[in-house]
Amino acid sequence: MAKYAPNRANRTGEGRKLSAKVTIHDVARESGVSIKTVSRVLNREPNVKADTRDRVQAAVAALHYRPNISARSLAGAKAYLIGVFFDNPSPGYVTDVQLGAIARCRQEGFHLIVEPIDSTADVEDQVAPMLTTLRMDGVILTPPLSDHPVVLAALEREGVAYVRIAPGDDFDRAPWVSMDDRLAAYEMTKHLVDLGHKDIAFIVGHPDHGASHRRHQGFLDAMRDSGLRVRDDRVAQGWFSFRSGFEAAEKLLGGADRPTAIFASNDDMALGVMAVANRLRLDVPTQLSVAGFDDTPGAKITWPQLTTVRQPIHAMAGAAADMLMQGVEREEGAPPPSRLLDFELVVRESTGPASH
Amino acid sequence: MAKYAPNRANRTGEGRKLSAKVTIHDVARESGVSIKTVSRVLNREPNVKADTRDRVQAAVAALHYRPNISARSLAGAKAYLIGVFFDNPSPGYVTDVQLGAIARCRQEGFHLIVEPIDSTADVEDQVAPMLTTLRMDGVILTPPLSDHPVVLAALEREGVAYVRIAPGDDFDRAPWVSMDDRLAAYEMTKHLVDLGHKDIAFIVGHPDHGASHRRHQGFLDAMRDSGLRVRDDRVAQGWFSFRSGFEAAEKLLGGADRPTAIFASNDDMALGVMAVANRLRLDVPTQLSVAGFDDTPGAKITWPQLTTVRQPIHAMAGAAADMLMQGVEREEGAPPPSRLLDFELVVRESTGPASH
DNA sequence: CCACCTTATGACAACGTTGTCATGACATGC
DNA sequence: GCATGTCATGACAACGTTGTCATAAGGTGG
């Protein structure tokens, strides 16, 4: 039984060499300086003569030297590792966050560790071990984990920095990145009102997500500002899932007395609404307008395509990674350095003029 | 300017202490043995008295000791890191792979590094640095990267083990995990034939994915075995995207002479077909049956729900992670230890009896 | 010209593990 | 009973970096 290593290259004898490990010592020798000076150049530390720096950089390039991340994190303070914690939001959301974060991380030589957390199981048991084994430089928290008390506490206890994406409350506790959910929902509602809709239904999102409440509030504010009444039976509770949107729509569209538009506070639920409309032979948008929120890939994967709000997920994740990598700083007592990014209303085919 | 560390725990006073770093030395002292013996217990090495092992394990538990992964990988051979490389397959696919791999990794104390590769840019430049900085124990390759020559070559040159998911060819080159795409497509076609369909169209997938050809072949085989002819204009080329399915369907359904069923070789394309059917006011499934492949979340997020093939993505990724963690082995000269996992035909509402 | 500061550099320890080798306690074979 | 082997353990080096401190070279002010 031999170690199967298509990879270890020369399994058939002395063969061709593996690309030999190049260490900082090799670079030091090649450029005629000490390893410490090489280290300085690599880490952009001050007090290195321009001439010396150039020689070292030339040697690094010539030898294709790459610092070993384990040695780095063992010796120094940084681990060059950023974590992303998530708990099954939609796949589209998750990958978008990852892509946004990685794009920034690559530039700085950081890597991304993804950690799904199952909040129905013991969260402490999942978080604590990974925090102590890998000493990550920071963690990006996605909703609903952005507000999970056990996760936040564990992170703080272990001394690991974190940035929350779209947290629900406790904004002064730690840095965050978010968008103005209330305003976005407000504008979407206005869009429907402008199309002539007066009887608009709303499907609320998962109560554990802070964004749910903000979107709901934006809807209510817009209706009030437009002088329109919101009937109690026109607001349904959902859970951000297709199924919950489907069920809410069945309730909303079940009787003869139907709203002319439904604003679902995320795309998955909006797709559930579309499915019900389809089933009831209601034409979208002539008989019913449907609006979503998020602009997930699914929004375009339906007919008619969904009018929705584009969340800057990619940018939010990138901003979060940035903050973590440069070691978030702030004035004593000042609020955490957080950022509110812009959204965009995406009007497609699922919304149209009110029918009556 | 103070370091902002909401994390450094006690910003509200002396509070509770940061969890102090516990090292192997502490465990050794606590249990009255040398650090080497502790190491042995931790790594399940032989030649440790049961009594000693118990004492060490008690100390580990009492002190909440977790080995530092950087030190481990610096000193030893293992890095406790598994990479997943992908290049924008659908988000659902990506997250499924991640979840499947992580479930296994957690048990063994491994972590997952995700690395999106942009195959339109210089692949070597993206792969080489990450392979040398992080010395991962192995990499899981998802299609179409499973067959990317530059990626495979870089992996082999750097001596990093890898397992390919659903590769297209060159099966003896390295271990892989896959499913029987041909058979699955064969059975799905049979399902349509059994429903009475004779004029069935097929949408081929992205030519860079090995699975595309296998699915196409399965379709052709089933048609032939059923004594049915496949008209040339009933086979359209797609790219596994919603849009490509949409466009293919427009061509397929454009004239008066229409097939009674369309088998799209993935769900995204099938959803494109559904959108066109919707637009043309063709009822699914009474006027047109539509079948997909993959059972992505999107398959349930449409009305009617899609008849499709459930790929064991989660299990495939888990198996791949397993192989990597236990250091893939095989007899000298024997084929790589690979695995073919079971699929499942999922019949939902989008397919029904032929209409004429 | 001396004291002192700044800049550029290197020697060496430290980081927390695992690998290698040595050692002592026992058991086994003849 | 002695050579030989196996088991259980520990001392110590090694892994490849960064942090700390020392030191030499050059600049500045009196």
Tokens of residue B331, six digits: 């007899």
* Residues B264 and B245 sit within 8 Å (Cβ to Cβ): yes
Cβ-Cβ contacts under 8 Å, A115 against chain B: 102, 111-112
B153: Cα separation from own chain's centroid: 21
Q: What is the pLDDT of residues B206-215, one digit of tens each?
A: 998 999 999 9
B205 contacts B212 by C-beta, under 8 angstroms: yes
Do the domain assignments include residue B16?
Answer: no
- How many distinct structural domains can be found in chain B? 3
Residues B126 and B46 placed together within one structural domain of the fold: no
Q: What is the pLDDT along chain B (356 residues), one digit of tens a residue?
A: 333 333 333 332 223 345 668 999 999 999 999 999 999 999 999 889 999 999 999 999 999 999 999 999 999 888 889 999 999 767 888 999 999 999 999 888 899 999 999 988 999 989 988 888 888 999 999 998 999 999 999 999 888 899 999 999 899 999 999 999 999 999 999 999 999 999 999 999 999 899 999 999 999 999 999 999 999 999 999 999 888 999 999 999 998 999 999 999 999 999 999 989 988 889 999 999 999 999 988 888 888 899 999 999 999 999 999 999 877 544 445 556 788 999 999 999 999 998 76
Q: Please indicate if any CB of chain A lies within 8 Å of the CB of B160.
A: yes
Between strands B2-3 and A329-330, the pairing is: antiparallel
- A175 and A186 together in one domain: no
Name the residue among B19, B276, B328 with its Cβ closest to that of A157: B19
How, if at all, do strands A138-141 and A308-310 pair? unpaired
Residue of B nearest to A81 (CA): B113
Judged by CB atoms closer than 8 Å, whether chains meet at B268 and A301 is answered as yes
CATH of the domain at A86: 3.40.50.2300
Instruction: Note whether A29 and B353 are within 8 A (CB).
Output: no
**Cα–Cα distance for residue pair B203/B216, rounded to 1 Å:** 8
Q: Specify the pLDDT at position B336.
A: 66
Distance of CA B229 to the CA centre of its chain: 35
Which phi and psi (to 5°) does residue A197 adopt?
-75, 135
- Cβ atoms of B161 and A7 within 8 Å: the answer is yes
Instruction: Give B52 CA → C28 C1' in Å.
Output: 25
Asked, for residue A34, whether it belongs to a domain, the answer is yes
Question: Domain for residue A7, yes or no?
Answer: no
Q: Which residues pair with B342 in a beta bridge?
A: none
* Protein-proximal nucleotides of chain D (any atom < 7 Å from a CB): 7-20
Same domain membership, residue A301 and residue A227: yes
- For A187-212, write each residue's pLDDT tens digit: 999 999 999 999 999 999 999 999 99
B212 and B240 inside one domain: yes
- Protein residue with the closest CA to the C1' atom of nucleotide D19: A76
Query: In angstroms, how far is C25 C1' from A302 CA?
Result: 76
For the cut 50, the answer to whether the pLDDT of residue A9 exceeds it is no
User: Is residue A102 domain-shared with residue A185, that is, in the same domain?
Assistant: no
Residue B318 lies in a domain: yes
d(C-alpha B250, C-alpha B233), whole Å: 13
CA-to-CA distance for B189 and B186, rounded, in angstroms?
5
Euclidean distance between CA atoms A306 and A264, whole angstroms: 11
Q: How confident is the prediction for chain B on average, in pLDDT?
A: 88
CB less than 7 Å from strand D: which protein residues? A 21, 23-25, 35-36, 39, 42-43, 65, 67-68, 71-72, 74-77; B 32-37, 40, 46-49, 51-52, 71, 74-75
Backbone Cα Rg of chain B: 26
CATH number (domain holding residue A48):
1.10.260.40
Domain that holds residue A335: 81-179+314-341
Asked whether residue B250 is domain-assigned, the answer is yes
Determine how many CB atoms are found less than 10 A away from the CB of residue A182: 19
Are residues A296 and A209 both part of a single domain?
A: yes
Contacts of A79 in chain B (CB under 8 A): 70
Clarify whether residues A228 and A130 are in a common domain: no
User: DSSP state, A307?
Assistant: B
Mean pLDDT computed over every residue of chain A: 88
Same domain for B170 and B186, yes or no, is: no
